[in-house]
């Protein structure tokens, strides 16, 4: 299954609308929901590789190797290559945004974590733009990033949000490390780690500290017709949008409101808000650049001995242990992370006192 940035429940809301001026969006959402899922699943299976053990360190001369292709409005991948590493700027904004976004994600992984691309060993970064007609999504299919242009009524082009690009490429990092199953709490952690990386890529590119950051995922995707800031808010899940067509952002902010559902692979895009908030709270409590402390701990956890079926409690424990290992048992990092997980109801207060 391809990992898409727009959850199916949101597309379903748009597909059902009969609001004036939203006919194109409704039709685009219906097509996006039906867009070749069997083919994308087959591509994902063909692209699967076993997780790479350990934390390989990027060599001093490591650099991204990017190729951007153009599907030309078809659903055929990869499309025609239109910009390769080192090529001059294109006249197509989507091509340039994809190219720069891949580079920004590579830079975050290398500078913050010493990781040479998605697999840690210099994997080329490939992306395809102009996928489908009014395609309302972007996804990682196990081999490449794929971007739609949006319908123009609800969504604009999906290359316009740097956090989206970082999010989707991070699914590749998870693929090569913990290989978290895309179901239930493990799937929500898969989604949440991608949101963490998406936010960090944006913050790293802008030089923002944790308290300066927006903590929004998908900011800039919605058109002006939508009453909303982004797809998700990591710091305040459930507040990203409140719109007549889209409805209200349904993400829970704590385990008190955990959504038990069979839809959306067991609520992977919904319940990820709980883990997202834990990260944002810890990062803000620690201050400074989020990738240096909280981000490093999350990276240590995802590249450690985490089970592919890990639930929230197991991942919370893994982050507290990783913080203790890297910064010390009595460190501010371990305390802030344990406290954040307790705040969202994953770890109880007594458990938060020690790993």
**Residues 29-81: pLDDT tens digits?**
999 888 745 444 444 443 445 555 555 666 677 899 999 999 999 999 999 99
Please report the pLDDT score of residue 57 as a whole number: 62
Delimit the domains of the chain by residue range.
3-353
Please report the pLDDT score of residue 26 as a whole number: 95
Is 130 among the residues known to form the active site?
no
Tell me the whole-structure pTM to 2 decimals. Answer: 0.93
CA distances from 144 to 40, 185, 190, 312 (A): 11, 25, 17, 28
Residue 102 in this model has a pLDDT that exceeds 90: yes
CATH number of 3-353: 1.10.390.10
Are 68 and 88 spatial neighbours (Cβ–Cβ below 8 Å)? no
Percent of the chain residues past pLDDT 90, beyond the cut: 86
Q: What residues form DSSP beta bridges with 81?
A: 69
Are 179 and 51 spatial neighbours (Cβ–Cβ below 8 Å)? yes
CB neighbours of 91 closer than 8 A, spacing ≥ 6?
none
Are 126 and 145 spatial neighbours (Cβ–Cβ below 8 Å)? yes
* Residue 41 token pair: 């699943």
Where is average pLDDT lowest: 15-29, 278-292, 327-341? 15-29
Residue in 130, 202, 269, 285 annotated catalytic: 269
* Residue that has been written with the tokens 């934390």 in this structure: 55
Is 100 among the residues known to form the active site?
no
Please report the pLDDT score of residue 309 as a whole number: 97
Please report the pLDDT score of residue 267 as a whole number: 95
Please report the pLDDT score of residue 352 as a whole number: 43
Phi-psi region of 337 (alpha: psi -120 to 50; beta: other; left: phi over 0): alpha
Residue in 97, 153, 168, 219 annotated catalytic: 168
CB neighbours of 222 closer than 8 A, spacing ≥ 6?
154, 155, 156, 228, 229, 230, 241
């Amino acid at each position: 299954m391809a990992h898409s940035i727009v959850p199916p429940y949101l597309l379903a809301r748009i597909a059902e609308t009969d609001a004036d001026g939203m006919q194109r969006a409704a039709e685009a959402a219906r097509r996006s929901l039906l867009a070749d899922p069997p083919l994308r699943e087959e591509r994902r299976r063909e692209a699967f590789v076993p997780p790479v053990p350990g934390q390989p360190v990027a060599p001093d001369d490591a650099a991204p190797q990017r190729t951007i292709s153009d599907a030309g409005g078809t659903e055929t991948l990869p499309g025609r290559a239109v910009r390769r590493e080192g090529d001059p700027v294109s006249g197509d904004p989507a091509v340039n945004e994809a190219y720069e976004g891949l580079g920004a994600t590579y830079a975050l992984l290398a500078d913050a974590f010493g990781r040479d691309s998605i697999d840690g060993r210099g994997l080329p970064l490939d992306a395809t733009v102009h996928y489908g007609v009014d395609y309302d999504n972007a996804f990682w299919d196990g081999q490449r990033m794929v971007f739609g242009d949006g319908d123009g009524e609800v969504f604009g082009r999906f290359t316009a949000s740097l956090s989206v690009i970082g999010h989707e490429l991070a699914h590749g990092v998870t693929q090569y490390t913990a290989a978290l199953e895309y179901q239930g709490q493990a799937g929500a952690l898969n989604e949440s780690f991608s949101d963490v990386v998406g936010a960090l890529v944006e913050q790293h590119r802008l030089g923002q500290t944790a308290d300066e950051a927006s903590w929004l995922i998908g900011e800039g995707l919605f058109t002006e017709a939508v009453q909303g800031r982004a797809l998700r808010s990591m710091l305040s899940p459930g507040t990203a949008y409140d719109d007549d067509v889209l409805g209200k952002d349904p993400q829970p902010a704590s385990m008190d409101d955990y959504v038990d559902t069979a839809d959306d692979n067991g609520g992977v895009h919904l319940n990820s808000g709980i883990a997202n908030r834990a990260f944002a709270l810890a990062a803000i409590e620690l201050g400074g650049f989020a990738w240096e402390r909280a981000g490093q701990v999350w990276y240590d956890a995802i590249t450690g001995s985490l089970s592919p079926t890990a639930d929230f409690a197991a991942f919370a424990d893994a982050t507290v242990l990783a913080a203790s290992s890297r910064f010390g048992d009595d460190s501010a990092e371990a305390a802030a992370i344990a406290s954040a997980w307790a705040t969202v109801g994953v770890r109880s207060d007594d458990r938060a006192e020690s790993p």
